[in-house]
Amino acid sequence: MSSRDRILGRVRRALADVPRDDTPPVPERPGRYPQYEQAFPRPYLREHGARDVERTVELLAENLADYRAVVHRADEEGLPMLLARLLAERGARTVLVPAGLPPWWLSAADATHVPDRAASTPHELDAVDSVVTGCAVAVAETGTLVLDGGPGQGRRRITLVPDHHICVVHVPGQVVASVPQALERLSPTRPLTWISGPSATSDIELDRVEGVHGPRTLEVVLLR
């Protein structure tokens, strides 16, 4: 007997006492599971507190800052100058550019562009100073950015290996209030990275230290 059959057999014997028929069936396919949903009333909130759009963006900014991300604001006209300044302040000589990043974002920056290529090795990524990306969704209540590999976001590794990450969020279009609302917008078939503040550890006497492995500096630009 295969281990698969052995384990599934054990599960079935273990559940011999459970009435099987009055329970809802397994969801048929993604997005179609009325019986499972009926069996689970979800009385928890879709959003904590009522806010207008402006307030939700404000909350995002507050929570990002609370988790030690540096928050900036810009309009379309000011974005290239702001990005150029942020890179210069860090002394970044090279900047990773994911495919699909609007070229005008970095039109004023002096740093040499390094395109994200499938062939580039981790060592090559490690040599780059900064990375600029967009995002898929930002969650106000938790101060979280979610990247899904879409245009302007690149592969998961590019926001991880360089020590400095600048993420541009369209507000209010890309902002949702809560985690349930974010999951609704995202597709599980894409690889997803949720980022809340810079990499951090509290493993040494619970003292928080930024950036053991991921970028030590996370800057977020709220773009209108």
Partner 1 sequence: MSGTYLGMPAFPEAARDAVHDRTLRGNLRHATHTIRAKRAKAVAEVSDWAELREAGRRIKDHTLLHLDRYLEQLEESVTAAGGTVHWAADADEANRIVTRLVEETGESEVVKVKSMATQEIGLNEALLEAGIRAYETDLAELIVQLGKDRPSHILVPAIHRNRGEIRDIFRAEMGAWGRPAPADLTDTPAELAEAARLHLREKFLRAKVGISGANFMVAETGTLVVVESEGNGRMCLTLPETLISVVGIEKTVPTWRDLEVFLQTLPRSSTAERMNPYTSMWTGTTDEDGPRAFHLVLLDNGRTDTLADEVGRQALRCIRCSACLNVCPVYERAGGHAYGSVYPGPIGAILSPQLRGTASEIDASLPYASSLCGACYEVCPVAIDIPEVLVHLRERVVEGGPVVRNGNKVVLKPARGHAAERAAMRAAGWAFTRPGVLRAGQRLASRTRRLHPRTLPGPGRAWSASRDLPAVPAEPFRDWWLRTRGGKNTPGPDAAGSTGEDGLK
Within positions 28 to 47, which residues make up the interface with partner 1, using CB under 8 A?
29-30, 33, 36, 39-40, 42-45
User: Do residues 96 and 71 lie in contact, with contact meaning Cβ atoms separated by under 8 Å?
Assistant: no
Q: How far apart are CA 86 and CA 196, in angstroms?
A: 20
Residue closer to partner 1 by CB (options 115, 191) is 191
Write the CB contacts of 39 (distance below 8 Å, at least 6 apart in sequence). 23, 24
Q: How far apart are CA 8 and CA 39, in angstroms?
A: 24
Shortest distance, position 16 Cβ to partner 1, whole Å: 8
The residue from 61, 97, 143, 167 that contacts partner 1 (CB under 8 A) is 143
As beta bridge partners, residue 169 has 222
Shortest distance, position 157 Cβ to partner 1, whole Å: 5
| Count, residues near partner 1 per rule CB under 8 A | 75
Looking at residues 39 to 98 of the shown chain, list those that interact with partner 1 (rule: CB under 8 A): 39-40, 42-45, 48, 63, 67
Q: Does 99 bind partner 1 (CB under 8 A)?
A: no
The residue from 21, 77, 103, 206 that contacts partner 1 (CB under 8 A) is 206
Strand ranges (DSSP E) for 26-100? 70-74, 94-97
Q: Which stretch binds partner 1 (CB under 8 A): 72-80, 105-113, 134-142, 169-177?
A: 134-142
Q: Does 213 bind partner 1 (CB under 8 A)?
A: yes
Residue closer to partner 1 by CB (options 76, 126) is 126
Q: How far apart are CA 161 and CA 99, in angstroms?
A: 17
Give which of 89, 87, 136, 148 is closest to 114, Cα–Cα: 87
Shortest distance, position 89 Cβ to partner 1, whole Å: 21
N-terminal to C-terminal alpha carbon distance within the chain: 61
